[in-house]
Chain A
Amino acid sequence: MGVRATQRLKRRLVTALELPKDVALGLPVTTMMGNEEVFVSNHKGLLEYGAGHIRLATAVGKIKIFGSNMILKEITAESVSIKGRVEKIIWEA
């Protein structure tokens, strides 16, 4: 059984059992506080911290957060808290 097939089976099982997907599949959870704060948990690392954007790796792709005056309020192995004026969030497959 290949990796993709295993993943598919795992996903089906999690859906059938109604398990929390962030815990069971490691899917990222993105929480926004207005346009002032973004909290991303289950990230896989910081890919880019540019002048007007921050890019993070996740289990399902990359998340790109655009904005100004953005600071990494806290970054740990599990979560990132970004503070600043958030303008746009894009998921890259």
Chain B
Amino acid sequence: MFIKIWYFFTGYVRIEIAGFSVERFISQATAKGVVFWNMQRNGAKFVAYITKKDFAHSKEISQKTGTKVEAAAVFGLPYILARLKKRLFLFLGGLAFAASMLLLTSFVWRIDIIGTDRLDDGEIITFLEQNGLTFGSFRRNIAYRDIESALILEFLDIAHVSLNITGTRATISIAESILVAETLDTSLPADIVAAKDAVIVYMATTAGQPLLRPGDVVAAGEVIVAGELVLGSAEEGNLSHAHTHAVSEVWGRVYYAMHFEIPLTYFEKTFTNRVSRGYTIHVGNGSFNLPRIFGVSQDEFLYSVTTENRWQLGLGANLPLPFVRTTTTHYELVRHLRTRSTDAAKDLAIELANRRIDEELGINADIIDKQIIFTENERALMAEVFLIVIERIDLAKPIEMGTYDE
């Protein structure tokens, strides 16, 4: 394999050898260091391959041995270059192309950010721009490690970042830090308050002074179990206060009311087959729209949906070049006014209600009663949803020590 590449660079010749003492010629030539390969007898002639350099030697030997050696075909880079020399402008064009490719591949023409979920890519791009990495940055001037460090310092949500530049493509791989649930320090005094308006149905207190009991009505934010303990009595003159972190599991009956309004008329959108496409060419930081030659204009559409597709010219995935084509496609829509039956509106209201309940209630919430009351006018169907749910309502709230007398 490698020897073939070598032969390509040095050039090689397919020769035809004829005469009475071909074997003698071969023996003498090999003795002088000439290498033949893929030699084949073809009738009275021999066909073989030798390097360009050996071909010159073989001519001398052939004269001594009385054989005739002719070049049937030539291969390899030296011969290609020799042919190109005759076509100067093609040669110069090739050189100019190679030089422009070399120049273009010295810059970053694409920045990809991967691994972001909470962080905004736009903010990161702006920050990178301020730190010397942007579309068209010279690759050698990019301070990889400095940019990585700056990103970590600037964005606290970044746990790890790596910047890799392969070809003309910069890839920022980000690992976001894991969000830790806010927990209350159990060594600090705290009350247990109600998270929602409810009727308490169950309480199990392991620390603190319960102020309410099952069956009591509690408002959101009201203290259920106090973290302040009253010790002794005023009558005996040994009244004192101590504070603890109250711990209690409190379940309450919570009432929910939801309102949904479902219009009895709506617009149904259907696509026509008419599509309008526009092309924009971006070269570096500039761009221009290609004039429309065929097809319909988007202005003819009353309603449409638009998609945008971006294609960047490049030599493979890692060598994008600063030529981008954006295709904006508008798909024409027509709107038809439709009416919805009362039953269909009810089904939709129930579906929306169930979706809202799933979103708002935790997985431990137990729905013990659900009622839906429908009312209708000429425009819409109204659905009032009432729920009775048993769920946990305890919430630890730190005690501000300054408000208590020690």
- Shortest Cβ distance from A92 into chain B, in angstroms? 16
If A45-B27, A49-B22 touch, whether A75 touches B46 (CB-CB below 8 Å) is no
B48 close to chain A: CB less than 8 A: yes
Does B48 lie within 8 Å of A72, measured CB to CB?
A: yes
Q: Of the candidates B27, B30, B38, which one forms a contact with A73 in the assembled complex, judged by CB atoms under 8 Å apart?
A: B38
Does A71 lie within 8 Å of B27, measured CB to CB?
A: no
If A74-B35, A74-B36, A75-B35 touch, whether A48 touches B26 (CB-CB below 8 Å) is no
Does B33 lie within 8 Å of A77, measured CB to CB?
A: yes
Does B30 lie within 8 Å of A71, measured CB to CB?
A: no
Does B35 lie within 8 Å of A76, measured CB to CB?
A: yes
Does A47 lie within 8 Å of B39, measured CB to CB?
A: no
Does A45 lie within 8 Å of B31, measured CB to CB?
A: yes
Give per-residue flags for A31-64: 1 if the beta carbon is below 8 A from chain B beta carbons, else 0: 0000000000000011111110000010000000
Give per-residue flags for B20-45: 1 if the beta carbon is below 8 A from chain A beta carbons, else 0: 00110011001111011111110000
Please, how many angstroms separate the alpha-carbon atoms of A45 and B36 in the complex? 13
If A48-B23, A49-B22, A49-B23 touch, whether A74 touches B30 (CB-CB below 8 Å) is no
Please, how many angstroms separate the alpha-carbon atoms of A71 and B27 in the complex? 16
Does A47 lie within 8 Å of B23, measured CB to CB?
A: yes
- Shortest Cβ distance from A68 into chain B, in angstroms? 12
Q: Of the candidates A47, A49, A51, A75, which one forms a contact with B30 in the assembled complex, judged by CB atoms under 8 Å apart?
A: A75
Please, how many angstroms separate the alpha-carbon atoms of A32 and B48 in the complex? 23
- Shortest Cβ distance from A51 into chain B, in angstroms? 7
Please, how many angstroms separate the alpha-carbon atoms of A71 and B32 in the complex? 21
Contacts of A71 in B (CB 8 A): 38-40
Q: Summarize A's interface: helix, strand, loop or mixed.
A: strand
Contacts of B41 in A (CB 8 A): 49-51
- Shortest Cβ distance from A20 into chain B, in angstroms? 23
- Shortest Cβ distance from A78 into chain B, in angstroms? 9
Please, how many angstroms separate the alpha-carbon atoms of A69 and B86 in the complex? 41
Does A74 lie within 8 Å of B37, measured CB to CB?
A: yes
Contacts of B22 in A (CB 8 A): 49
Please, how many angstroms separate the alpha-carbon atoms of A77 and B33 in the complex? 6
Contacts of A76 in B (CB 8 A): 30, 33, 35
Give per-residue flags for B221-260: 1 if the beta carbon is below 8 A from chain A beta carbons, else 0: 0000000000000000000000000000000000000000
Please, how many angstroms separate the alpha-carbon atoms of A86 and B27 in the complex? 22
- Shortest Cβ distance from B392 into chain A, in angstroms? 80
Contacts of B39 in A (CB 8 A): 49, 71-72, 75
- Shortest Cβ distance from A26 into chain B, in angstroms? 14
- Shortest Cβ distance from B58 into chain A, in angstroms? 13
Please, how many angstroms separate the alpha-carbon atoms of A74 and B35 in the complex? 7
Apart from A47-B27, A49-B22: 10 A-B pairs, beta carbons within 8 A: A47-B23, A49-B26, A49-B46, A72-B37, A72-B39, A72-B40, A73-B38, A75-B35, A75-B39, A77-B31
Q: What are 29 pairs between A and B in contact, CB < 8 Å?
A: A45-B30, A45-B31, A46-B23, A46-B26, A47-B27, A48-B23, A49-B23, A49-B26, A49-B39, A49-B46, A50-B41, A71-B38, A72-B37, A72-B39, A72-B40, A72-B48, A73-B37, A74-B37, A74-B38, A75-B26, A75-B30, A75-B35, A75-B36, A75-B39, A76-B30, A76-B35, A77-B30, A77-B31, A77-B32
